[in-house]
């Protein structure tokens, strides 16, 4: 099994989304000790935005030549995504949505005639579906009865990833990282508990399938 772990926080080891997404990777390894892992830390501006080379390629039916600019990076990021059996994303919420680093990755992988085709009904995904775990950290709350801000991150990721064929998204979150230390610790525990329940239910499902 190939795991692709992508992180988009600029806060390095202090990052809650990185911590939570790493925990997901650890749990995947417990289930598949021989899994192979590719880690990309993209939260510090490491990934440039798409450039003219890429934009002209997106716009054209012409085969090229392209590849002198960010279309080569796009090729590489799409190949990594295609190779992955499971994708784990760790991302902060920035201004009610995804950070620009994650948006840059999306711009590289959501690519006409490569990961989607255009039908009269809209974009049609070309990638085969696979589980995508998405660990979100936010300074305030965006879900549940205490949410005090709209959430454009979750619906955006669902829509844009569905456009390339990825519909199996599993969201986990640590919300309220800007609150006092005890509240953050509680939010971590709630997130970890949700993860444990999820992986326990996968084990149960696996065990019952083996009984059939
Ligand atoms: C540019 C920027 C915008 C942010 N916008 C929001 C926001 O809209 N809502 C929110 O709850 N937190 C917001 N935050 C706070 C982060 O989501 C919070 O610090 C989170 O813990 C960052 O993720 P990390 O711990 O993985 O680094 C923002 C932080 C930054 C730097």
Question: Cα(170) to centroid of ligand 1, in Å?
Answer: 20
pLDDT value of position 65: 57
Q: What is the CA radius of gyration of the chain?
A: 18
pLDDT number for residue 211: 80
* Residue located nearest, by CA, to atom 31 of ligand 1: 94
- Locate the ligand 1 atom nearest the alpha carbon of residue 18 and give its number: 26
Residues 145-154 have a mean pLDDT of 96
Q: Which atom of ligand 1 is least distant from the CA of 142?
A: 11
Domain spans, the chain:
2-211
| Ligand-binding site membership of 163 (annotated) | no
Backbone dihedral angles phi then psi of residue 210, each to the nearest 5 degrees: -70, -20
Nearest CA to ligand 1 atom 20: 138
DSSP-assigned states of every residue in 120-186: TTEEEE-SPP--EEEEEEESS--SSTT--S---HHHHHHHHHHTTT---EEEEEEE-TTS-HHHHHH
CATH of 2-211, one of 3.90.1150.10, 3.40.50.360, 2.40.50.140, 3.20.20.80: 3.40.50.360
- Residue-level pLDDT at 212: 66
CA 208 centroid distance within chain = 29
User: Which atom of ligand 1 sits closest to the CA of residue 92?
Assistant: 23
Q: Is 97 annotated as a binding residue?
A: no
* 36-49 mean pLDDT: 94
Residue 60 annotated as binding site: no
| pLDDT > 90: percent of the chain | 80
Residue 206 pLDDT: 86
Q: Is 80 annotated as ligand-binding?
A: no
- Give the per-residue pLDDT at 57: 79
Measuring from each residue's beta carbon to the nearest atom of ligand 1, which residues come in under 6 Å? 9, 11, 15-18, 92-96, 137-140, 149, 177
Model pLDDT for residues 151-200, shown as the tens digit of each residue:
999 999 999 999 999 999 999 999 999 999 999 999 999 999 999 999 99
Identify the pLDDT of residue 56: 78
State the pLDDT confidence band at 67, using cuts at 50, 70 and 90.
low
Largest CA distance in the chain: 57
Residues 71-120 pLDDT 10s:
889 999 999 999 999 999 999 999 999 999 999 999 999 999 999 999 89
Q: Which atom of ligand 1 is nearest to the CA of 141?
A: 11
Does the pLDDT of residue 129 top 70, yes or no? yes
Q: Rounded to the nearest whole angstrom, what is the distance from the C-alpha of residue 164 to the centroid of ligand 1?
A: 27
Instruction: Name the DSSP class of 99.
Output: -
């Amino acid at each position: 099994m190939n795991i692709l772990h992508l992180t988009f926080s600029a806060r390095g080891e202090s990052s809650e989304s990185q911590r939570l997404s790493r925990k997901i990777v650890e749990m995947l390894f417990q289930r598949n000790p021989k899994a192979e892992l590719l880690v990309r830390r993209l939260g510090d501006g490491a990934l440039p935005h798409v450039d003219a080379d890429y934009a002209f390629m997106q716009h054209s039916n012409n085969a090229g030549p392209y590849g002198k600019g960010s279309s080569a990076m796009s090729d590489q990021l799409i190949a990594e995504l295609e190779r992955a059996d499971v994708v784990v994303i760790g991302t902060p919420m920035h201004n009610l949505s995804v950070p620009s680093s994650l948006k840059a990755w999306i711009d590289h992988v959501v690519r006409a005639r490569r990961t989607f085709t255009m039908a009269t009904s809209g974009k049609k995904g070309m990638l085969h579906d696979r589980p995508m775990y998405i660990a979100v950290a936010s300074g305030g709350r965006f879900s549940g009865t205490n949410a005090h801000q709209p959430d454009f991150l979750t619906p955006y990721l669902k829509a844009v990833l569905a456009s390339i064929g990825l519909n199996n998204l599993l969201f986990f979150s640590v919300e309220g990282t800007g609150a006092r230390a005890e509240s953050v610790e509680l939010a971590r525990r709630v997130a970890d508990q949700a993860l444990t329940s999820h992986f326990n239910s996968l084990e149960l499902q696996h065990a019952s399938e083996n009984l059939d």
